[in-house]
């Protein structure tokens, strides 16, 4: 699934990374606890979260994620957007709640594990 499909499915606003919406991703995770993302997430390219602080972008960079979706209409700071741009991470913001956003992506084929093999 490409990131533009994720944007459309979640009716999300692109906050940065418009030029990267054609990137294909194969898995996602949803969490507001970055320690869980660091401890348990492997090979996920998309992070869905309602947490808005710089640790979200730092975690995405460390885990080689391609896209962060802020749920519940959360919006990152300008500093976070700039850091994401510097590191090639697409940022999206959706009005959906975490449960609904994760379910929407899952039912449309974006898995939580490497389902592309």
- Within a domain: residue 113? no
Checking if the pLDDT of 8 tops 60, the result is yes
- Within a domain: residue 21? yes
Q: Tokens 């194969």 identify what position? A: 26
Work out the average pLDDT over 1-5.
96
What does pTM read for this prediction?
A: 0.91
Split into its structural domains, the chain has a count of 1
Q: What is the CATH number of the domain that holds 70?
A: 3.40.1390.20
State the pLDDT at residue 105: 96
Q: Which own/partner pairs from 48-53 qualify as long-range (CB within 8 Å, at least 24 positions apart)?
A: 48/98, 48/101, 48/102, 48/105, 49/74, 49/98, 50/74, 50/98, 52/76, 52/77, 52/80, 53/80
17 vs 91: CA distance, rounded Å = 7
Q: Mean pLDDT, the chain, as a whole number?
A: 91
């Amino acid at each position: 699934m490409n990131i533009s499909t994720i944007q459309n499915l979640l009716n999300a606003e692109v906050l940065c990374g418009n030029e990267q919406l054609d990137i294909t991703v194969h898995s996602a995770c949803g969490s507001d606890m970055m320690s869980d993302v660091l401890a348990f997430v492997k090979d996920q390219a998309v992070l869905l979260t309602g947490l808005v602080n710089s640790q979200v972008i730092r975690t995405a960079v460390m885990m080689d994620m391609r896209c962060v979706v802020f749920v519940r209409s959360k919006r990152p700071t300008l500093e976070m957007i700039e850091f994401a741009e510097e590191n090639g991470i697409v940022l999206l913001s959706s009005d959906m709640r975490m449960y609904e956003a994760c379910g929407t992506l899952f039912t449309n084929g974006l898995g939580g594990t490497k389902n592309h093999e």
